[in-house]
Amino acid sequence: MNSKERFLATVERKPVDRPAAWLGMPDIYAQPALFEHYGVKNMHELKLAVGDDFYAIEVPYESPDASAIYAAFDWYMDGNVDAEERTLTADGCFKDAEEIEDLDFFEWPDPAKYIDVEECKRRIGAAPKDKVRLGMMWSAHFQDTCASFGMETALMNMIANPEIYEAVDEKIIDFYLKANEIFYEAAKGELDAVLIGNDMGSQRGLMLSPEMVRRFIIPGCKKLVEQAHSYGLKVIYHSCGSIADIIPDLIGVGVDVVHPIQALAAGMEPKGLKERFGDKVSFCGGVDTQDLLVNGTPEDVKAKVRELRTIFPTGLIISPSHEAIMPDVPPANIKALFDEAQKVY
């Protein structure tokens, strides 16, 4: 099987020769040690050297305010959307908005102006064709809506003034639907899957009640999933944390793969997930980054991968439980993860 066949079989929960595996997007500070360990010079070479089944592609976005699509909105109105410092809880420009008219002053960016179609084609074309070409769409409308008000104000508005929350969310979803369409059109036929998502979970449970997730997040999720499906793309939906209670809702809107299995979060034990949802959706993740990958030995990591392969003979993409591998993860543990995942038993 090549990477693509392996991925599609995983999504359909059909037999695989060995599980697909995804490196994720190592943090910039984690990259130098990984490059050295594998004797490579850049991320492109690293992906090939580890034998990643995936090849992530980011949407090009260049506006006067931002050079990444996940930082497209200048909520602080200072023309300096520094992705590093976006913490969601800082007050955003809609902090005091009460009526829908109070949103009028904001200039919504037009994605058509800032996404270069040729650059989309160049990036997608540069990805190896035998890999799973994964568009990193994010389209994190919940997190963006939180940032637009300031997270605490946004969450309180969900209770006290839901109309204003929804009005902003809708604008943001429209932005992403338009942006994604540009990328998908440019990609035609050359993209296999996309990653979309929002962080909804904490270590111990959801951040919002399941009812609120259903009212405020799932409808937008549905639009984004349907759009991707209309282009024949598989959807990997991302949310960190403990999200088991809303996995049925993600399944309901057609999500193909739930990412990540954040292994130590409450209710996210791989075995339980397999029992509850294993015949309805596939997963990605499972190799814990909060203890095992940081403090464990390569042997411990291999043992975990073996265990995951036993629980999920198919239906699981082996990957760290957070895509942003941090600099405290020894590269030898990443190598162990891939070595064990790539063994054909």
Partner 1 sequence: MGLIQEISEYLQKGRAKNVKALVQQALDENLDPKEILNDGLLSAMMIVGTKFKNNEVFVPEVLVAARAMNAGLSVLEPKLVEVGNEPVGKAVIGTVQGDLHDIGKNLVVMMLKGAGFEIYDLGVDVDPAVYIDKAEEVGADIICMSALLTTTMPKMQDCIENLKERGLRDKYIVMIGGAPVNDSFCEQVGADYYTPDAATCAEVAKKVVLEKRAAG
- Nearest-approach distance from CB 42 to partner 1, in angstroms: 23
Measured between alpha carbons, how far is 26 from 88 in angstroms, rounded to an integer? 22
Binding mask 27-66 for ligand B12 (x = CB under 6 A): x---------------------------------------
DSSP state of 96: T
Q: Which of 53, 148, 101, 58 is nearest to 341 (CA)?
A: 53
- Nearest-approach distance from CB 29 to partner 1, in angstroms: 9
Q: Which of 2, 203, 209, 310 binds ligand B12 (CB under 6 A)?
A: 203
Tally of CB atoms within 10 A around 8: 18
**3-class SS at 115?**
coil
Q: Which of 66, 147, 155, 224 binds partner 1 (CB under 8 A)?
A: 155
DSSP string spanning 269-335? -HHHHHHHHTTT-EEEEEE-TTTHHHHS-HHHHHHHHHHHHHH-SSSEEEEESSSS--TTS-HHHHH
Does 219 bind partner 1 (CB under 8 A)? Our answer is no
Does 80 bind ligand B12 (CB under 6 A)? Our answer is no
Does 16 bind ligand B12 (CB under 6 A)? Our answer is no
Does 321 bind ligand B12 (CB under 6 A)? Our answer is yes
Bond before 260 cis per omega within 30 degrees? yes
Measured between alpha carbons, how far is 288 from 291 in angstroms, rounded to an integer? 6
Does 294 bind partner 1 (CB under 8 A)? Our answer is yes
Q: Which of 204, 272, 297, 313 binds partner 1 (CB under 8 A)?
A: 204
- Nearest-approach distance from CB 99 to ligand B12, in angstroms: 27
Measured between alpha carbons, how far is 265 from 335 in angstroms, rounded to an integer? 24
Does 151 bind partner 1 (CB under 8 A)? Our answer is yes
CA 336 to chain centre: 23
Q: Which of 203, 230, 297, 310 binds partner 1 (CB under 8 A)?
A: 203
Binding mask 225-254 for ligand B12 (x = CB under 6 A): ---------------xx-------------
Point out which span in 48-56, 96-104, 155-163, 202-210 binds ligand B12 (CB under 6 A): 202-210
Q: Binds 327, which of partner 1, ligand B12, none (CB < 5 to 8 A, cut-off by type)? A: partner 1
3-state helix, strand, coil in the chain (%, to 5): 45, 10, 40
- Residues at the site binding ligand B12, with contacts judged by CB under 6 A: 27, 87-89, 199, 201-203, 207, 240-241, 260, 262, 265, 289-290, 321-322, 324, 326
